[in-house]
Amino acid sequence: MARVTRYEYWHENMEGRGWTRLYLVHKNSGEIAKFEGQNVPRFAEVAMKRSWDYGDWYVLMLDPFVVPYRIVPPEKGEWGDWFESWEEFADYFYISELTAKRFAASEFPALAERLNTIEEFEREHEE
């Protein structure tokens, strides 16, 4: 029988870079959820929270089939600048391309626009 996983997450403001983000991917369903400081049904329960001026520290109990992704804003550029295709982005999170497109459109619109442009360009130049 699978067991829940204890996960510690620092939600902090990185000086000059912005706030970290936490996304939870359910390996069974392929769904992805953003952690926003509260329980996320079927994904995670908050076991403990401590707050400081610069952020919050959480202890989460994750469903056995949930994988956490802590996103730290880069010092320069946008997070995800290195992805060159929707396939690559979807593979990173272990989600379908359709889910990846919806997710990026809501959470990383500049990345979604860039990957759509690349996809369109490749389609126009297929032989």
Statement to judge: residues 70 and 17 lie in one domain: yes
pLDDT at 1 over 70: no
Statement to judge: residues 52 and 104 lie in one domain: no
pLDDT of residue 62: 98
pLDDT at 96 over 90: yes
Alpha carbon distances (Å) from 31 to 36, 50, 98? 16, 28, 11
Q: Which of 76, 98, 119 marks a domain boundary? A: 76
pLDDT at 127 over 80: no
CA 25 to chain centre: 8
> Which residue from 20, 24, 32, 29 is spatially nearest to 7, judged by alpha carbons?
24
Domain carrying residue 113: 77-127
Q: Domain count for the chain, please give it.
A: 2
> Sign of the CA dihedral 76, 79, 81, 82?
positive
Statement to judge: residues 72 and 88 lie in one domain: no
Q: What is the pLDDT of residues 29-46, one digit of tens each?
A: 999 999 999 999 999 999
> Which residue from 85, 77, 123 is spatially nearest to 101, judged by alpha carbons?
85
Statement to judge: residues 7 and 49 lie in one domain: yes
